């Protein structure tokens, strides 16, 4: 696969619809051509302590951010026609579907590929685990800002370039 969009969401709380940031990395002909990072006012709009501990984002960071439909209106034409790639894709696909449902938007049925599953098939037991930072390092990408949506999407893109 040489053309795709790597995507990563961070959430504000336990609700999958509570996306508070998104990172998108566009790959064409096996090369990164575009990167996009946006903060999103989550729905429901509250932050759990544990989620903030993971990614560092707070209510104040997204209080004036656009809502998911506003952000997706910008993203949709950028990813049009591209398969989506995520590390542990059931989480990110679940977030996307939940956000679409929360805002009564029609879900277009995006095609997702999972770099975590691909890592298990490709590397098997040669890695101690198949976490994003571990697989990214194996593929030559040092993920020093794990749980920043754009950094995670870029790590995912690098993994996909190497093993998908």
Residue spans of the chain under pLDDT 70: none
**The predicted structure's pLDDT at residue 121:** 97
**The predicted structure's pLDDT at residue 2:** 95
DSSP string, 48-105: -HHHHHHH---HHHHTTSPPHHHHHHHHHHHHTTPPEEETTHHHHHHHHHHHHHHTTP
* CA gap 31, 134 in Å, rounded: 22
**The predicted structure's pLDDT at residue 110:** 96
Residue with tokens 């995507």: 7
**The predicted structure's pLDDT at residue 80:** 97
**The predicted structure's pLDDT at residue 1:** 86
**The predicted structure's pLDDT at residue 106:** 97
- Going along the chain from its start, the domains and CATH numbers come out as 4-163 (3.30.420.10)
């Amino acid at each position: 696969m040489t053309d795709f969009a790597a995507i990563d969401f961070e959430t504000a709380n336990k609700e999958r619809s509570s996306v508070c940031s998104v990172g998108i990395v566009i790959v064409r002909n096996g090369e990164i051509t575009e990167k996009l990072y946006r903060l999103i006012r989550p729905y429901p709009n509250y932050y759990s302590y544990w989620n903030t501990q993971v990614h560092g984002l707070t209510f104040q960071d997204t209080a004036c951010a656009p809502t998911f439909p506003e952000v997706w209106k910008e993203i949709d034409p950028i990813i049009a026609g591209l398969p989506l790639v995520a590390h542990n894709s059931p989480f990110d696909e679940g977030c996307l579907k939940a956000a679409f449902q929360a805002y009564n938007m029609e879900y277009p049925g995006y095609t997702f590929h999972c770099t975590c599953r691909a890592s298990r098939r490709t590397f098997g037991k040669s890695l101690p685990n198949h976490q994003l930072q571990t697989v990214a390092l194996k593929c030559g990408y040092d993920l020093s800002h794990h749980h920043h949506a754009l950094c995670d999407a870029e790590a995912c893109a690098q993994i996909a370039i190497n093993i998908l």
